[in-house]
Amino acid sequence: MAECGTGCGVGSAWLRSGIRGDVRIVTAELDHRLAEAVRTMFEDDSHVEVLQADWTTLREYAPFSLLFLDVREAKQNGPELITELIEPGGIVVLDDFTPCHGWPPVYEGRVDTTREQWLTDKRFTTAEVMVAPDASVLIATRR
């Protein structure tokens, strides 16, 4: 598994709480202070590797069965750059969306091209799932 955008480690801890067996989590965080703090949190856990690096560094560890994508640049690049990180049948979770109830998807008065790309890309089957009245995630499975 992998995570782009470690932040304060909440997502890493969430991923870690659900793994079984020899599954590894690789998480990449650009901010040195945050990466060090999270590395300290998991220093005794051989299942979690924290990289102080740009999200593209994850290519060296790919392919993944699950990728939690929380980096704006990676989301906006669309499926093109992410496809190579995911094994066939693997899942990408993209968070921090505002629910949209029409087509094309609109955010702040403009077409949300990021969401549109993910929902229409032929390499993925993607669904938008509301997780709160004001928040949704995209869940994309690589075909």
Q: What is the pTM of this model?
A: 0.91
Q: Are 82 and 92 in contact (CB under 8 A)?
A: yes
Q: What residues pair up with 114 in beta bridges, in sequence order?
A: none
The CATH number that applies at residue 119 is: 3.40.50.150
pLDDT at 38: 97
Which among 86, 15, 82, 74 is positioned nearest to 49, based on CA atoms?
15
**Residue 19 pLDDT grade (very low, low, confident, very high; cuts 50, 70, 90):** very high
Q: Which residue has the higher pLDDT, 17 or 101?
A: 17
Tell whether the torsion through CA atoms of 83, 32, 136 and 75 is positive or negative. Answer: negative
pLDDT at 71: 72
Give the contacts of 46 (CB within 8 A, at least 6 positions apart).
Answer: none
Indicate whether 61 pLDDT > 90: yes
Residues 18-43 have a mean pLDDT of 95
| Number of domains comprising the chain | 1
Indicate whether 81 pLDDT > 90: no
pLDDT at 60: 96
How many Å is the Cα radius of gyration of the chain?
A: 15
Q: What angle do CA 127, 78, 133 make, to 5 degrees?
A: 40
pLDDT at 62: 96
Residues 50-54 have a mean pLDDT of 95
Indicate whether 73 pLDDT > 90: no
> Checking phi first, is residue 107 left (phi over 0); if not, alpha (psi -120 to 50) or beta?
beta
Domain carrying residue 115: 2-142
Question: Does residue 133 have a cis bond before it (omega within 30 degrees)?
Answer: no
